[in-house]
């Protein structure tokens, strides 16, 4: 009897006084092991067990408990508040002290104070607040990124003077870059809807050790939302709806999250209808007609008009409208305590997207009614992603955790065009099937977690199908009534098919040398193999119709972080990167502005060697941060478009779609450099007031020809202020761009679109490199001001509004073929259920 009473009192005592808390990942609901738990006086130091529990009985009820883990932001919680949290502590990747955790640099969670590279992170909260119409518009708000647009249904991010196939896009660990990512401008960044994103991370500079080819300027990594587990069965849903006045845009996003103990699901469907864009009317740059559309082609959506149609409102940019639909379905299933499975399904499609800059191209620049193209549009942009990711945490000597990702992507794009005065409509269609598998693993080498090794592999196979054909329209009573005949068209890429295989292995080493410094190193070996076949020789004749190219590269990085005290951080990076020529570099055929790109089967890889220095200074208990990064990148064997010459040194003339033009091709050159800096600040001024801002400068020239590099934006920046009080939030921002002088444009490649800048001397008709600077002005400077507000009606409902370009300034982003939006009122409604 005495024994039973003892057991009874022991259990009661243990129940009454044992205070165990559970530590979980806020995003996934999974338990977090090995969390260091201590008090601020450092007299108590504990660690969470294999089930994520820790007993906090020893802590005084008035103490602040600190939770620290290498993969999460530092968290401080007053013990008295634990009961209100049901003794569950949620760890996140961000904290009030700007102690962010990023995934993209090492493909595993790592705190920013141990990372030497320049990085930028935009959270889901920031994305919702900024309310961008597309993901390209989201990228334009990130410090150091400039976005070019050839049409409104697009957006080509520029990082450190590099864009398109020199910038790597990644979504949920799967590279979006494929074998036909071109040199010039891309619109692929918009195929992931902003409302589906949990966050976006940007790594600046060559990152080829972790990511391989294409990551010369940097890496943009989209992370879509992932469902979380819950011990209490939960169903959450959200409705997001927005209207924008500048293009009559309506966007609706509906999402649902199902959270259970053993599995979770997230579904998101987004639909956007973008009308024709209204540009600004306040022309402080002094060019009255620049960017206006006096005549347009009324030949889209099945219409037929024999000649250009006069535009009743030249500031309304007709032929900029399109629609887009994005679907995300993701499942999260814990297979065991050490193994999780993510299944990811994504689909994006659009309507036809008019190529605005080509539809406003003139045969005679002195006659605004003499349009060249009656039709020039992209067919629906289709992107399908099916991937599964196995997350493992075996805690073995050779692998602590890792991820294996298997993915399939199907990309479809097409180009349809017809000239005024012709009934011949050409179609060029491309399909790319991409199969990939990559593994990323890491292991700690000591119990103190001061040394770690990461390693991995990647295989990606691209199969490209390129088809082209022509149809002659049959017109009856000024309406299109089918087709009367067919004709032959030169395909954009090798018509016999092509493929591109990339294989790579990498290893990295990271060590905390002491409490003040961290060393990061890495090395990667990559091999690429390209095969292509041309069949039709009626348009282009090559020296060999069957080509095969094999290239290999060894790249490395060395990063060092020094923290003299808690408020200072100094970073240094030396790295190398490379880009192996893809199908677009080797085999593309297209026409622009009288120049015709033809295949060059002899293109070789280009290399980048980078050195950079960064500084971070923290204030106000790490709630405010100032940072600056300076870099220098040397490009070796760089690829650039240039004219193709005959034996007598005259420019080769070739025919494309019935017209002769100058032949150009992608060619390897010598050395070039790109240098610049970004300075930024971010943080809280007070409990209610926070601010952020940045300024970015870039310069790039070739050493061999002493000419400017393409895609070098002028000085640009942004400053914002935000005030929060209870349920209200109010903010203002200022964006600016300095002038880009015409002498700083690259004229050969056509990427900078110097011919779309204001004309200052109309008497110059026959232009070449010697008189470009006399005819064109360059890109004028501009500045816009915007305000925004948000009101929380209750815990479930919120409304927000944004008034951009308050003074209705007319401006054009550098190298863009379409004017920027004028004054825009955007109103959004968010409802959580």
Could you write out the three-class secondary structure of 125-192? Answer: HHHHHHCCCCHHHHHCCCCCEEEECCCCCCCEEEECCEEHHHEEEEECCEECCCCCCCCCCCCHHHCC
Taken as a whole, the chain contains a residue count of: 833
- Contact by Cβ (8 Å): 149, 818: yes
What is the rounded distance in angstroms from the CA atom of residue 142 to the CA atom of residue 121? 8
DSSP character string of 476-533: ETTEEEEEEEEE----SS-TT-EEEEEEEEEEEEEEEEETTEEEEEEEEEEEEEEEEE
Give SS3 for 292: coil
What is the rounded distance in angstroms from the CA atom of residue 78 to the CA atom of residue 64? 4
770, two tokens: 């010697």
- Contact by Cβ (8 Å): 329, 267: yes
The distance in angstroms from the start CA to the end CA of the chain is 55
- Contact by Cβ (8 Å): 376, 360: no
Return the DSSP state at 235: E
Candidates 670, 614, 520, 576; CA nearest to 205 is 576
Cα–Cα distances (Å) from 198 to 71, 103, 125, 221, 227, in that order, read 17, 13, 8, 11, 10
Q: Which residues are CB-neighbours of 733 under 8 A, at least 6 positions away?
A: 718, 719, 720, 721, 785, 786, 787, 788
Identify the pLDDT of residue 35: 87
Weakly modelled stretches of the chain, pLDDT under 50:
3-17
336, two tokens: 């065991």
Helix (H), strand (E) at residue 707: none
What is the rounded distance in angstroms from the CA atom of residue 464 to the CA atom of residue 182? 14
- Contact by Cβ (8 Å): 340, 30: yes
What is the rounded distance in angstroms from the CA atom of residue 6 to the CA atom of residue 13? 10
Distance of alpha carbon 144 from the chain centroid: 12
Report helix, strand and coil shares of the chain as percent, to nearest 5.
10, 55, 40
What is the rounded distance in angstroms from the CA atom of residue 293 to the CA atom of residue 311? 7
Helix (H), strand (E) at residue 403: strand 401-419
What number of other Cβ atoms are within 10 A of residue 659's Cβ? 12
- Contact by Cβ (8 Å): 465, 454: no
What number of other Cβ atoms are within 10 A of residue 325's Cβ? 16
Identify the pLDDT of residue 3: 47
CA angle centred on 553, ends 548 and 559, rounded to 5°: 155
Question: What are the phi and psi torsion angles at 14 (to 5°)?
Answer: -65, -40
Q: Which residues are CB-neighbours of 255 under 8 A, at least 6 positions away?
A: 195, 225, 237, 238, 240, 266, 267, 268, 269
- Contact by Cβ (8 Å): 662, 653: yes
Pairing of strands 339-350, 382-392: antiparallel
Helix (H), strand (E) at residue 585: helix 583-587
Q: Which residues are CB-neighbours of 66 under 8 A, at least 6 positions away?
A: 37, 38, 39, 40, 74, 75, 76
H runs (alpha helix) in 712-776: 772-775
147, two tokens: 């976005």
What is the rounded distance in angstroms from the CA atom of residue 57 to the CA atom of residue 18? 6
Q: Residue 360 class from Cβ within 10 Å (0-12 exposed, 13-18 middle, 19+ buried)?
A: buried
Give SS3 for 318: coil
pLDDT above 90 covers what percent of the chain? 66
Give SS3 for 209: helix
Q: What residues pair up with 616 in beta bridges, in sequence order?
A: 569, 627
Helix (H), strand (E) at residue 785: strand 782-792
- Contact by Cβ (8 Å): 106, 510: yes
What is the rounded distance in angstroms from the CA atom of residue 701 to the CA atom of residue 671? 9
753, two tokens: 């679109």
DSSP character string of 407-459: EEEEEEEEEEEEETT--EEEEEEEEEEEEEEEEEEEEESSTTS-EEEEEEEEE
What number of other Cβ atoms are within 10 A of residue 383's Cβ? 21
Identify the pLDDT of residue 16: 42
Identify the pLDDT of residue 15: 40
Candidates 134, 154, 147, 163; CA nearest to 222 is 134
Candidates 570, 456, 436, 438; CA nearest to 523 is 456
Identify the pLDDT of residue 9: 44
Q: Which residues are CB-neighbours of 605 under 8 A, at least 6 positions away?
A: 213, 551, 553, 578, 579, 580, 581, 637
Distance of alpha carbon 269 from the chain centroid: 20
């Amino acid at each position: 009897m005495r024994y039973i009473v003892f057991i009874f009192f022991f259990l009661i005592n243990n129940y009454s006084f044992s205070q165990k808390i559970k530590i979980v990942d806020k995003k996934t609901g999974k338990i977090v092991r090995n969390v260091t738990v201590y008090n601020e006086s450092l007299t108590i130091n504990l660690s969470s067990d294999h089930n994520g529990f820790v007993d906090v009985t020893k802590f005084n009820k008035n103490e602040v408990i600190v939770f620290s883990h290498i993969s999460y932001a530092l968290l401080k919680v007053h013990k008295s508040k634990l009961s209100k949290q049901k003794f569950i502590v949620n760890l996140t990747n961000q904290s009030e002290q700007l102690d962010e955790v990023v995934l993209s640099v090492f493909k595993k969670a790592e705190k920013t104070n141990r990372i030497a590279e320049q990085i930028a992170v935009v959270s889901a909260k920031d994305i919702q607040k900024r309310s961008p119409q597309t993901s390209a518009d989201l990228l334009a708000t990130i410090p150091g990124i400039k976005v070019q647009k050839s049409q409104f249904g697009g957006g080509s991010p520029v990082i450190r003077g590099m864009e398109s196939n020199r910038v790597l896009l990644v979504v949920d660990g799967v590279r979006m870059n494929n074998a036909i990512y071109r040199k010039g401008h891309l619109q692929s960044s918009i195929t992931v809807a902003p409302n589906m994103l949990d966050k976006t991370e940007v790594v600046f500079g060559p990152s080829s050790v972790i990511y391989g080819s294409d990551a010369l300027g940097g890496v943009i990594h989209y992370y879509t939302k992932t469902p979380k587990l819950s011990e209490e069965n939960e169903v959450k849903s959200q409705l997001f709806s927005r209207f924008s006045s500048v293009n009559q845009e309506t966007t609706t996003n509906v999402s649902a999250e199902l959270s259970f103990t053993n599995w979770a699901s997230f579904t998101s469907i987004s639909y956007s209808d973008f009308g024709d864009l209204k540009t600004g009317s306040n022309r402080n740059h002094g060019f009255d007609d620049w960017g206006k559309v006096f005549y347009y082609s009324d030949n889209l959506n099945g219409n037929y008009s024999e000649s250009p149609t006069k535009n009743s409102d030249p500031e309304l940019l007709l032929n900029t409208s399109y629609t887009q639909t994005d679907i995300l379905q993701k499942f999260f299933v814990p297979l065991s305590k050490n193994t999780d499975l993510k299944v990811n399904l994504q689909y994006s499609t659009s309507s036809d997207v008019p190529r605005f800059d080509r539809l406003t191209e003139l045969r005679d620049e002195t006659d605004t009614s003499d349009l060249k193209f009656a039709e020039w549009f992209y067919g629906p942009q289709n992107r399908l992603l099916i991937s599964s990711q196995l997350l493992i945490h075996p805690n073995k000597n050779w692998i602590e955790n890792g991820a294996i990702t298997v993915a399939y992507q199907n990309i479809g794009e097409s180009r349809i065009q017809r000239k005024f005065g012709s009934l011949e409509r050409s179609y060029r269609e491309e399909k790319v099937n991409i199969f990939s598998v990559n593994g990323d693993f890491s292991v700690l080498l000591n119990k103190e977690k001061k040394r770690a090794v990461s390693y991995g592999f990647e295989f990606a196979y691209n199969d490209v199908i390129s088809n082209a054909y022509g149809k002659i329209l049959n017109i009856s009573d000024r309406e299109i009534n089918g087709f009367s005949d067919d004709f032959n068209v030169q395909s954009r890429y090798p018509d016999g098919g092509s493929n591109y295989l990339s294989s790579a292995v990498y290893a990295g080493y990271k060590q905390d040398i002491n409490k003040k410094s961290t060393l990061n190193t890495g090395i990667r070996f990559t091999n690429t193999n390209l095969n292509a076949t041309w069949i039709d020789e009626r348009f282009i004749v090559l020296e060999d119709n069957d080509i095969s190219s094999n290239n290999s590269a060894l790249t490395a990085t060395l990063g060092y972080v020094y923290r003299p005290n808690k408020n200072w951080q100094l970073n240094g990076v030396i790295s190398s990167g490379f880009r192996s020529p893809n199908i677009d570099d080797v085999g593309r055929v297209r026409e622009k502005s009288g120049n015709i790109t033809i295949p060059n089967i002899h293109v070789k890889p280009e290399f980048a060697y980078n050195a950079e220095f960064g500084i971070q200074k923290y204030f106000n208990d790490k709630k405010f941060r100032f940072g600056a990064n300076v870099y220098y990148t040397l490009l070796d064997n760089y690829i650039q478009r240039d004219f193709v010459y005959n034996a007598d040194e005259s420019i080769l003339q070739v025919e494309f779609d019935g017209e002769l033009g100058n032949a150009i091709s992608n060619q390897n050159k010598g050395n070039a450099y790109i240098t610049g800096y970004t300075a930024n600040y971010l943080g809280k001024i007070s409990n209610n007031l926070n601010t952020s801002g940045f300024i970015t400068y870039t310069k790039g020239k070739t050493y061999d020809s002493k000419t400017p590099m393409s895609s070098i934006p002028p000085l640009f920046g942004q400053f914002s202020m935000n005030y929060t009080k209870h349920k209200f939030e109010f903010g203002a921002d200022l964006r600016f761009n300095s002038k880009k002088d015409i002498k700083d444009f690259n004229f050969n490649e056509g990427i900078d679109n110097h011919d779309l800048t204001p004309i200052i001397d109309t008497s110059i008709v026959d232009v070449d490199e010697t008189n470009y600077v006399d005819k064109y002005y360059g890109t004028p400077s501009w500045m816009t001001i915007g305000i925004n507000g948000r009101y929380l009606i209750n815990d479930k409902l919120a409304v927000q509004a944004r008034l951009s370009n308050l003074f209705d300034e007319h401006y054009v982003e550098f190298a863009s073929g379409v004017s920027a939006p004028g004054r825009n009122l955007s109103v959004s409604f968010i409802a959580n259920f």
